[in-house]
């Protein structure tokens, strides 16, 4: 979708959705009308009303408040997963691309294996290692397959950069590999990684929701996936819980995907 | 068969075997690192020490790790995959065999849905680039990727099961093949988005080839050019991408089986995970790994047979 019109048509939705999410994650817990854990058994699964704009869920908890608190959790986990994945993936990918040979084979081999294995199965198997998964465990489980995408991008870029004259000049001047990698290769990987990280945030948030939906989320914390799980159990009688929870997840993922596409169109002159 | 081809087949099969062994070992170690005690999970924490010790011995949990590993490899070797902790008269292999057809049917139906949507849509988008069809195909691809299965499933149930009453609700035992439609759509949506993009890209490339131009110049009808001349050559890369999505499809079946209350490998796996039924967890991961390695091996070998350039790399 190239051309100024398509670009304009894309800009608002992606940016608006991501902006709304960022706002909810930053301020949500402050502006939430209720405590997300507050129990009100008289009004369990109530339809939307003035007191509860999005209705209530299990035990009468306020859906809007759970979603607002959940945004903070989703944002925190998303940012942690993506930043750790970017660091691990970029280092592994750049090193593999720069050194080539056995190192390259090892990194791409592991990446292939991780990427093609069902993500949910891998994450569940890893989370099984701890008795009560908390946020750190969830983050580590998601990084275990999250780094692969960044490694691929970094490796591809490094392969191209490696042959440039300024790298050969640095080598001729007697610079060590590590110094070349950190001073000359890594700073030039920025653009494509930023694009990948933007849609990666959406993917990480979805992965957190999916694991929480399956019952593997961080305990008692208000989580979008856990809310969707509760809503699915009563879907046929009280559809509003699942609709609002799932809609929030879908809109957020869509927003980050659109924002990623938009950034790519802006940053990549070849397109 | 040439020596080069044989060497390619041999090397590729050996790598597949090593991958499986690696995965088996990894799964064995990961599952053993679980801090929860499976004996607690089976007997509850009120059980007498004697009962606990005899169960522990029966399950080989008191043996050294290496011995457990040897026992596990033996059970993989004889095809039983060991016995379930909870239903000890059942082998893991038979438990998996009972539910596997349901998951296989779901995965195949999802692939069928994805191909049926992606091939016409992607081809049309490529043949009429920039048209409404093209925009529509790209929008569908974008939303197919953005709408998560955990939401699409409930939406489909509400729309087709509750509002339209056209398709059976989850848990309906007598639903038969109709009961497969919504789960297959849930799993296949993201796949069809990926494949539509791939088909469009591959078709755009092929349609600009000289031989397509030549066919057009000979007066071959536009439909025939697209379907017979172009699609056949665009299919190979799309097939590879389709096979590479097997992991995503299997992830999708785990989620979808939960949403639609279907039995299958995914629900067996999750259920065994929460009950700390280690042999079953291990067996499920192993079967998934085997499936994945076998499909990729088959695709690679077909590729090697069809396209001689592949063997060189």
Mean residue pLDDT of chain A comes to 81
Q: Which residues of B touch A202 (CB under 8 A)?
A: 146
Q: Is the pLDDT of residue A5 over 70?
A: no
Q: Is the pLDDT of residue A69 over 50?
A: yes
CA distance linking residue A99 with residue A177, whole number of Å:
9
Taking only the tens place, the pLDDT of each residue in B100-132 is 998 988 999 998 888 888 888 888 888 888 788
Residue A106, min C-alpha distance to chain B (Å): 13
Q: Is the pLDDT of residue A88 over 90?
A: yes
pTM: 0.81
pLDDT at A136: 86
Residue A54, min C-alpha distance to chain B (Å): 17
Enumerate the β-bridge partners of residue A56. Answer: A62
Residue bearing the bigger pLDDT, B96 or A121: B96
Q: Which residues of B touch A235 (CB under 8 A)?
A: 154, 157-158
User: Does the beta-carbon distance from B246 to A116 stay under 8 Å?
Assistant: yes
Q: Which residues of B touch A231 (CB under 8 A)?
A: 154
Taking only the tens place, the pLDDT of each residue in B135-163 is 888 888 877 877 888 888 888 888 887 77
Instruction: Nearest by CB to B35, from A130, A209, A247: name it.
Output: A130
Q: What percent of chain A has pLDDT over 70?
A: 92
- pLDDT confidence bin for A143, thresholds 50/70/90: very high
Residue bearing the bigger pLDDT, B210 or B96: B96
| B 31-60 residues inside an 8 A Cβ radius of A | 31, 33-36
User: Does the beta-carbon distance from B248 to A243 stay under 8 Å?
Assistant: no
Taking only the tens place, the pLDDT of each residue in A191-236 is 778 888 888 898 899 988 888 888 887 766 688 888 888 888 888 8
User: Does the beta-carbon distance from A210 to B150 stay under 8 Å?
Assistant: yes
Residue A97, min C-alpha distance to chain B (Å): 18
Residue A115, min C-alpha distance to chain B (Å): 8
Residue B178, min C-alpha distance to chain A (Å): 19
User: Does the beta-carbon distance from B289 to A117 stay under 8 Å?
Assistant: yes
Taking only the tens place, the pLDDT of each residue in A244-260 is 888 899 899 888 988 88
- pLDDT confidence bin for A1, thresholds 50/70/90: very low
- pLDDT confidence bin for A271, thresholds 50/70/90: very low
User: Does the beta-carbon distance from B34 to A120 stay under 8 Å?
Assistant: no
Q: Does A9 touch chain B (CB under 8 A)?
A: no
């Amino acid at each position: 979708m190239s051309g100024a019109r398509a670009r304009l048509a894309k800009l608002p939705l992606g940016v608006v959705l991501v902006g709304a999410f960022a706002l909810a994650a930053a301020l949500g817990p402050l502006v939430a009308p209720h405590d997300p854990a507050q129990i009100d058994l008289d009004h369990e699964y109530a339809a939307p009303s003035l007191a509860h704009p999005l209705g209530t869920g299990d035990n009468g908890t306020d859906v809007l408040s759970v979603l607002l608190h959940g945004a903070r959790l989703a944002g925190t986990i998303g940012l942690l997963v993506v930043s750790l994945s970017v660091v691990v993936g970029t280092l592994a990918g750049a090193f593999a691309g720069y050194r080539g040979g056995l190192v390259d084979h090892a990194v791409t081999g592991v990446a292939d294996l991780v990427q093609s294995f069902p993500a949910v199965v891998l994450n569940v198997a890893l989370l099984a290692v701890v008795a009560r998964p908390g946020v750190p465990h969830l983050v580590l489980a998601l990084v275990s397959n999250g780094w692969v995408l960044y490694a691929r991008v970094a490796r591809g870029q490094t392969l191209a950069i490696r042959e440039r004259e300024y790298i050969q000049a640095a080598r001729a001047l007697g610079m060590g590999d590590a110094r070349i990698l950190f001073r000359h290769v890594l700073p030039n990987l920025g653009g494509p990684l930023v694009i990948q990280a933007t849609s990666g945030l959406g993917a990480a948030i979805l992965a957190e929701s999916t694991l929480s939906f399956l019952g593997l989320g961080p305990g008692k914390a208000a989580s979008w996936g856990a809310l969707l799980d509760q809503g699915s159990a009563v879907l046929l009688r009280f559809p509003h819980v699942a609709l609002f929870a799932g809609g929030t997840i879908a809109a957020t993922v869509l927003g980050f995907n659109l924002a990623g596409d938009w950034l790519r169109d802006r940053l990549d002159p070849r397109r | 068969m040439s020596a080069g081809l044989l060497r390619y087949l041999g090397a590729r099969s050996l790598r597949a075997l090593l991958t499986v062994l690696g995965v088996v070992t990894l799964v064995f170690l990961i599952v053993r690192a679980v801090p929860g005690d499976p004996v607690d999970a089976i007997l509850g924490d009120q059980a007498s020490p004697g009962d606990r010790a005899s169960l522990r011995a029966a399950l080989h949990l008191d043996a050294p790790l290496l011995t457990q590993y040897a026992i596990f490899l033996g059970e993989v070797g004889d095809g039983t995959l060991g016995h379930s902790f909870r239903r000890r008269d059942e082998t893991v292999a038979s438990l998996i065999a009972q539910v596997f057809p349901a998951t296989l049917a779901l995965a195949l139906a999802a692939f069928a849905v994805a191909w049926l949507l992606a091939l016409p849509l992607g081809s049309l988008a490529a043949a009429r680039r920039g048209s409404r069809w093209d925009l529509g195909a790209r929008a569908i691809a974008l939303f197919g990727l953005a709408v998560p299965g955990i939401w699409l499933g409930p939406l489909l149930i509400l729309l087709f099961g509750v509002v339209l009453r056209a398709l059976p609700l989850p848990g309906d035992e007598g639903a038969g093949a109709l009961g497969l439609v919504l789960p297959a759509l849930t799993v296949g949506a993201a796949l069809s988005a990926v494949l539509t993009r791939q088909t469009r890209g591959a078709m755009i490339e092929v349609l600009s080839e000289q031989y397509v131009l030549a066919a057009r110049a000979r007066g071959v009808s536009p439909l025939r050019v697209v379907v017979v001349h172009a699609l056949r050559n665009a299919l190979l890369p799309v097939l590879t991408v389709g096979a590479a999505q097997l992991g995503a499809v299997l992830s999708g079946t785990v989620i979808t089986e939960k949403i639609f209350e279907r039995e299958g490998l995914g629900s067996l796996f999750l259920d065994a995970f929460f009950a700390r039924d280690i042999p079953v967890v291990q067996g499920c991961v192993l079967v998934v790994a085997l499936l994945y390695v076998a499909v990729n091996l088959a695709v690679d070998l077909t590729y090697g047979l069809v396209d001689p350039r592949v063997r060189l790399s």
